[in-house]
Structure formats: C-alpha cells, structure tokens
Structure 1
C-alpha cells in the first residue's frame, strides 16, 4: 500500500465519487438524477445501490409516507417539541426526537420483519408455533400488532396491504408477507376473542419484507420516515414559542413515592 493509498483507503465507499466540478452518486452524475428521480427513489438508490421503479417504488414511497407522524403523544415527537422550547435549535431538536427511537418505540418494524421471515422459513402451517416460540424468547407482545389508540383497525394498514396486493398482482412482489401478516392478525383475533389490528409497524414491515430489506434496514427506513414528522413538529413548536415546556402543564405534579 502506497503512502497515498494509505490515506485514501482510510474510508472506502461505493456511494459517492467526487472531484472538483463532478459529483457521481452510485455511479450516476448528480445532474442526471436531479429532476428525474423522486426523493423516495433516491433514498433507495443511495442506501441499496439499486434502482427501484414501478409498483415497488410505489410501495416504498407509501411506506415512507404512512409513518411520518403519530402526534405529540408519540415519545419521539413529544421529545422534539419539548427540546424546541429549550433554546437548542431546530436540528438539535430533531436529533433529540430521533434519539427516542429504540427497541420499543421505533423497533417493532425491524422485529416484525424478522418474525415474518421466521414464519416464511417454517411455513404458514407453523405460524402458531413460531408465535409461541417468539413469545417465549421475547415476551408476550407480537411486534406489529395491536394498538392502544386505533381500535379495531389502524387506518393505515388496510391501505398499505391493498397496495401490496396490487403489486403482487402485477408480479412486482411475491405477496407472501402480506399473507403472513394477515395470518398473524387472524390468529391473534381468534386467540384473544377480539380484533388485534395490524398496526403501522406490521404493515410497513410487510412492505419492507416484500422489498427484500434486512430487518435492521426496516428500522432505519422507519426512522427516516418519522424524521419528517419530527421536523414538522419541532418547527411548529419553534414558531409557537414557549420556554422549557415539560411533558405536562405546570399545574400537574408527579406522584412522590418516598417516605
């Protein structure tokens, strides 16, 4: 390794090639992408290195659109709004919100993709057993199903599954994961004697699984989608003003459990 390459090879990337007056992203000059490629398609190209078109591109964009926001009661949004009243600036407020996305708030899509893949490998007939094994390892909650607010249906899920059905009919995706998702929903409803709706995490996980995304990438795309809502709320709070807003109005107090 030459001394020059020792420095150049410190970072290695197939994402961007650049020199004065020239920028190429994934091998395509940026000026050819500008105005010709949608933002969703650009995201897919940058992350995967592949082009996404037709019904597959429609599915990917639909998943991104569907998960942008869930209101100030969502921890990521609430954190961004509170941060915006603390004088730290818009980008720091966004970072505060994004940093709230973890295994519980933001991780269910990744977990659901992993679960769907396990069921696919075992076969649909093994669905009850795979769910029981999942619970034994991870606890009683099945990722992507049930919602504390949207009952008996999360309005986003049927629309997303309908788009998956259309893409499957066009031969763009297999439709297998939509079948698995519906199978889980039906099994849980029978098991509990009441509807257990597929939620936004379960529905977008169907799409990301159909598109071939590894489970961690499903979480990454969810964070990218939710960052839009985080930005919107942080900016709205910035315009509204307020100083040092906490999670509840000042008249409300916490419960003290000490002596």
Structure 2
C-alpha cells in the first residue's frame, strides 16, 4: 500500500474527540473562546493573547456591513425558501467578494511580499507600477463612502498597538500608501481592507487564510440579518424595490 493520507485537524473514537491534539471536552469546551478555538483548529498552534485579541477585533470589525448584496440575498433567499436556513446563509456567503467584503487577503499578500523583500519602499514602488500598468485598482485604498478617513482603520490599528505588535506590516502598509499617493499625485484613503491585512499579518495569520477570517465574521453577520428577517421581515419590500424600477424592453 502507498502512503496513507492524513489530517492533523481532528480525530475521534467512541469515547473522545481530539482537535489538534487537544481533547475537545476536557481542553476546549468552556475553557477557550471561539476565536481561540478557531485559531487552534486552523493554524495548529497555541494562539498568543496578542493573536487572539487582534483576530477577535477583526471579526468584530467586519461582521456587519449593512444591506449590501450578500445580506439582501440572504433575506431574499429566506423569503423564497423559509425552510432553508442554511441555504439562505450560504447564498449570502457566495456573494461575499472583493467589492463588499474587502480585499484583505490580497492586501495581506502584498504586505508579505514587501516585508519579505527586505526593501519595502522599492517593493511598494514596483507594486504600484504593476497595478497602474494593468489599470487595476490597488486593493486597500479608496472607499465609495469614507472619502477622507475610514473610521475603522484607526481603531483597529490602535488595537494592534495596544496588543504590543511589532508594527512591521503596519509600517509596510503606510509605505504602500505613500508610494501610491505619490504616484497618483493625490490622497486616497486607506480603507479597512488594508488595515485588516496588516493587522492579521501582525497576528501571524497568513494571507492565504485571511479571506476565511472575513467569511467567518460575515457568516455571523448574515445569521443576524436572517434572524431579524424572520422576526421583522423586509424581503418583500426589497423584492418590490428591485422589481418596480426595472422596465421590460424587448
């Protein structure tokens, strides 16, 4: 027989369940917060207090985003199929993308690239030139509503400072901001996606996992929308609001 595939996340027998080498009943339930358990399960290492605090702050920051398309879809799916709770949440999650959930993972990858280069400013200039050459928007900068300042950014970065972060990735974010604004000749606001990418990188969360952190937070937010919809429905108005302004043109 060839080598057997293995997983290091979870195992069980008739009497116990193990998660990353910890006993679910004895070590985790009632002893660890959800954020701690999430990090243990995903990363396979004991999370530090700093890491837990920052990830928890990110989850709170991005959980609620208003009546954006993902929340609207969740409410409308429940309206059409009230028996499918999970279907309504899943429908909303399918619409969690770059436009309304942010580009933290792409921002995080760019910051990792800059720090790994050892020359953050040179790397920032190259990144800006690449995006401008492709006529692509650099993720993490500009916002359709918060034109002067994204109020979430300062608070999230202050949490990182309070937690004692080294600030390497936050500094890289500032360097990228400077490179972009110099190239454009104008000031673009640093948005929450850039700050989340920097904060999660400071917490040791790899960029490849950052979209997952956002999805966990948004899933919780959609559950809130779905429960409110079941108590104080607005989906009929949402549907009519979408239908009434649209005319048929053969």
- Compute the TM-score of the two structures, normalised by the length of structure 1: 0.84
User: Given the alignment, which residue of 138, 144, 154 partners 2:140?
Assistant: 144
For residues 149 and 98 of structure 1, do their structure 2 counterparts lie closer, same or farther at Cα, with a shift above 3 Å needed?
same
User: Given the alignment, which residue of 73, 82, 86 partners 2:80?
Assistant: 86
Secondary structure of the residue aligned to 2:142 is coil
User: Given the alignment, which residue of 174, 195, 200 partners 2:192?
Assistant: 200
For residues 243 and 144 of structure 1, do their structure 2 counterparts lie closer, same or farther at Cα, with a shift above 3 Å needed?
closer
2:19 aligns with 25
Contact 1:85 1:245 in 2 (8 A): no
1:62 aligns with 57
Across the two proteins, how many residue pairs are aligned to each other?
Answer: 246
For residues 201 and 130 of structure 1, do their structure 2 counterparts lie closer, same or farther at Cα, with a shift above 3 Å needed?
same
Matches within 5 A, 1:169-208: 170=164, 173-192=165-184, 194-208=186-200
Contact 1:86 1:244 in 2 (8 A): no
For residues 109 and 243 of structure 1, do their structure 2 counterparts lie closer, same or farther at Cα, with a shift above 3 Å needed?
closer
- What's the CA shift string for 1:25-66, capped at 9, x where partnerless? 111111221111111010000111111122221111111111
Structure 2 gaps of 5+ residues are: none
Per-residue deviation at 1:248? 5.5
2:132 aligns with 135
Structure 1 gaps of 5+ residues are: none
- What's the CA shift string for 1:82-132, capped at 9, x where partnerless? 212112432111000001123444461111111112222342221223211
Output the CA distance in 2 between the equivalents of 1:14 and 1:144. 34
Matches within 5 A, 1:1-259: 1=1, 12-31=6-25, 32-72=27-67, 74-88=68-82, 89-106=84-101, 108-122=103-117, 123-126=119-122, 127-137=124-134, 139-167=135-163, 170=164, 173-192=165-184, 194-241=186-233, 246=238, 249=241, 252-254=244-246
- Compute the TM-score of the two structures, normalised by the length of structure 2: 0.87
Indicate the structure with greater helix content. 2
Contact 2:150 2:190 in 1 (8 A): yes
Note the aligned Cα RMSD (angstroms).
2.5
Contact 1:80 1:94 in 2 (8 A): yes
Task: Point out the more displaced range, 190-199 or 242-251.
Answer: 242-251
